[in-house]
Amino acid sequence: MKFASSLLVLLTFLSNASFAVEDTSHADLFEKDRFPSATACGECHPKHYKEWSVSQHAYAQMSPVFNAFHGTILKFSRSTNGDFCIRCHTPVGMNLEEDIFMSNIDRHPTSREGVTCIACHRLSQPYGKLSGRLAIAEGPVTEPIFGPSGEPAELERAISKAGLVVDNEKAGRKIHGEVARSDQMSTSGFCGTCHDVNLVNGFRLEEAFSEFKNSPANAEGITCQDCHMGKEPGKVLAAKDDPDFYHKNYDFGPAAKVGSLKTEPRKLTNHMFVGPDYSVLPPSLFPLDLRAIKEEKDKDDVRARGMATIREWLQFDWKAGWGSDEFEDEVDYDFEFPERWESVDDRYDAREIIQDNLVLLKEIEQERLKLLRNGYLLGDISVDNVSRKGIEFVVDVKNGTNGHNVPTGFDAERLVWLYVKVVDADGKVLKESGDLDPNGDVRDLHSAYVHNREMPLDKELFSLQSKFLVRNIVGGEREQVLAINYSVSPLVFLRPSRNPTILQGRPNGARKHKLGIEPLGVRTAKYKVSSEQLAGATYPIKAIVELKAAMVPVNLIDAIKDVGFDYELSPRDIAEVLVHGHIDEEGEVVIWNEDSDDPADNQVAGHQIVWQREVELVQAP
């Protein structure tokens, strides 16, 4: 499918965004100097770059799911939503006044890096909750950067001893000549700039920062950074009043490395920013390896950074084993490779990049597992009643963090649920809840199979996914996958609310039914095995309870597929990765295996295992 061709025509007419800069050497140099790439930072800060390269911040704009989601919202709002979604995902792109909807392949390289280094370290002014409307200080890499301390001693030592260049007109390895103090950077308010999202009509789309401000963690003096940039994602490893808090909670080491010179050890914040999402892109494109992507304009320049353009990487069949001994030793001499990959040496070099990226993806996969385990706890499973009518039992699910709800952020697309299977002594399945339809969706109102009445609604489904509710023309509400009334409303334009939203606590036309769990809170799921389901069963009866998590539901892909997906990916390509993300090779999905503490025992490539428990409900009838 050609990427969103019909929508791009519409947006070309409606959008006020400007188009690409003239393709001249002078213009290219000017744009490069205005907003330096993270690759310029990675040379001296390899640890920070490696962590960031696989992070959700680096993936923010690269994500084809986000890009299609954003495009669909523009389509349904006739583009009146403007840059509201994308300005958080590519603040550089919006500072450059790029088109609000286009292929990432054609974006400025720093724009494509999403929440890149300068998105945080080039903010010269403190900001409040602006939903990502940020003015990034422009200039070449030699311009000042901003940090939490602003201490210049180590920077000056590195410049003097390593022969670094702070004048953009001189030859040599260039570096920022000054570091300025940003008092806001080490506060939670710095994160709240983007992590509270309020639409112009008053709709509260994401409330992570608001939840935090009212949390026990905030009352204790814990910051977002303490929990999400420390040694373990989603967990503070010491009390804030512990005199050795920073050494217990954060790594320490050199912040920069230039040749053999390392700066003096200091507190290091982790820039991996582990979250519930994972990449659906080929490992040649993400993580953002310094060696991988070459820009189209540099395609024939052997001195330019990067091995191949995105379009060339998309031709590299990494799944077939190109560049591995197993493949290259067996491939026929007359096998036709794309022109860029005709050289076996190039294929081996490309395979090395891919292998390194796969290792890094595995690392963040295991860190994501830690995050989920810290956020979600499976509590008591107890039998409430056993009678002639059947068996009634309950399952407690707890929020393991005191900092915000779980899920948080874009919680209407965070699918966390319980899978419950009741079996008899012979293994016969007596009932299921939380099982998936053939598309990989739970059986709620958004399941295409439930909608078409091909499968029954899962009336006992326990899900923490919040739901968007929109007002109908004649009253009442209905659930939607997207936060914009595309079902029945003739008002297709997004506009500010005409009435004070504080009167109702929400906009007139839409609201969100939040189903998450408050900090340290508990929610209880109730289940019943009827006498009809127990007929002929052998005893004892046991329940297998699994807490499961997915990045986004598959039905979201169905809702946004019409605008097309970037990088020549089809809806099926995306959906298969999503389904693989929460289903193992046997069709089972779990998050935690209590019988082992070793993540390797619990890991099936592509998905997280969080909790699993088996309990005996009844020994005898």
Stretches in the chain below the pLDDT threshold 50: 1-2, 4-26, 582-607
Tokens 């330019």 locate to 304
Identify the CA nearest to 42 among candidates 247, 236, 288, 213. 288
CATH number for the domain formed by residue range(s) 376-466+514-618: 2.60.40.10
Q: What is the pLDDT of residues 180-218, one digit of tens each?
A: 999 999 999 999 999 998 877 778 889 999 999 999 999
Hey, CA dihedral for 530, 535, 539, 542, is it positive or negative? negative
DSSP three-state, residue 36: coil
Can you tell me the distance from the alpha carbon of 451 to that of 453, in angstroms, rounded to the nearest whole number?
5
Residue 489 confidence (pLDDT):
55
Residue 164 confidence (pLDDT):
87
Residue 486 confidence (pLDDT):
63
Residue 6 confidence (pLDDT):
43
Spatial strand order of the sheet with 541-550 comes to: 429-433, 415-423, 541-550, 611-618
Can you tell me the distance from the alpha carbon of 21 to that of 26, in angstroms, rounded to the nearest whole number?
10
Query: Crossing angle, helix 64-76 and helix 5-14, to 10 degrees?
Result: 60
Query: How far from chain centre, in Å, is Cα 216?
Result: 25
Q: What is the dihedral of CA 242, 244, 249, 254, to 10 degrees?
A: 160
Identify the CA nearest to 424 among candidates 546, 540, 544, 545. 540
Identify the CA nearest to 605 among candidates 359, 331, 326. 359
The 3-class secondary structure across 534-552, one letter per residue, is HCCCCCCEEEEEEEEEECC
Exposure string over 485-519, b if 16+ CB within 10 A, otherwise e: bbeeeeeeebeebeeebeeeebbebbbbebbbbbb
pTM, two decimals, is 0.88
Beta carbons within 8 Å of 380's beta carbon, 6+ residues apart:
394, 395, 396
Every domain of the chain with CATH number 2.60.40.10 lies at: 376-466+514-618
Please work out, in degrees rounded to the nearest 5, the angle formed at the alpha carbon of residue 411 by the alpha carbons of 407 and 198: 125
Tokens 């806001």 locate to 184
Identify the CA nearest to 269 among candidates 37, 119, 51. 51
Residue 419 confidence (pLDDT):
92
Residue 91 zone, left/alpha/beta (φ > 0; ψ -120 to 50; rest): alpha
DSSP three-state, residue 206: strand
